[in-house]
């Protein structure tokens, strides 16, 4: 089982950025835990602040991996180009969010990506990523 986690803009600052919303764990330390817990799953990780690089990564892995777990950050709410990339590839994509975007500002309530994804998991902190992984393992 090969899973690709993709994090978008500002998610490199997890553990530093707005801790009351996103917590005080860095993604790297969470990932280490996740890889230990799911030792038989190959979990690749990619983060970029650039829309085009996120699209390039989806194209690169989107015909050979079993699943993508994508937190596109603010691009979730704006990017038709990422939505098109998700629709263009064969690998299923789950949209995840650390925070419950529906409890926050109105501009976070709409996702440009959700309609091209298998489903959306939001509001469970970093656990949102593990819940998405569980979907790929149990389907
Ligand atoms: C986020 C929610 C987005 O609205 C925001 O722009 C982010 C993080 C989350 O994980 O809760 O950067 O995707």
Tell me the per-residue pLDDT of 45-94, one tens digit each, with 9 for 90 and over.
999 999 999 999 999 999 999 999 999 999 999 999 999 999 999 999 99
- Domain locations in the chain as residue ranges: 2-137
Which of 8, 27, 108 gets mutated to test ligand 1 (max ligand atoms within 8 A of its CB)?
Answer: 108
Q: Is 38 one of the catalytic residues?
A: no
CATH superfamily of 2-137: Dehydroquinase, class II (3.40.50.9100)
- The span from the CA of 7 to the CA of 76, in Å, is 11
Q: Which atom of ligand 1 is nearest to the CA of 21?
A: 11
Which of 17, 76, 129 gets mutated to test ligand 1 (max ligand atoms within 8 A of its CB)?
Answer: 76
Tell me the per-residue pLDDT of 2-11, one tens digit each, with 9 for 90 and over.
999 999 999 9
Q: How far is CA 4 from CA 19, 71, 88, 93, 133, in A?
A: 25, 11, 16, 9, 10
**Predicted TM-score of the model (pTM):** 0.97
Q: Residue 96 in contact with residue 70, Cβ under 8 Å?
A: yes
Q: Which of 22, 65, 75, 136 is catalytic?
A: 22
């Amino acid at each position: 089982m090969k899973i690709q986690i993709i994090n978008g803009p500002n998610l490199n600052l997890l553990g530093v950025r707005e801790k009351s919303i996103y917590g005080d764990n860095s993604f790297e330390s969470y990932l280490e835990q996740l890889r230990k817990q799911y030792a038989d799953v190959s979990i690749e990780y990619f983060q970029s602040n650039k829309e085009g690089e996120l699209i390039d990564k989806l194209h690169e892995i989107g015909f050979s991996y079993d699943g993508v777990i994508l937190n596109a950050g603010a691009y979730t709410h704006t990017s038709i180009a990422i939505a098109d990339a998700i629709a263009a590839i064969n690998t299923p994509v789950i949209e995840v969010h650390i925070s419950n975007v529906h409890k926050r500002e109105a501009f976070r309530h709409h996702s440009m990506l959700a309609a091209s994804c298998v489903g959306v998991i939001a509001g469970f902190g970093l656990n949102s990523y593990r819940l998405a992984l569980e979907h790929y393992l149990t389907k």
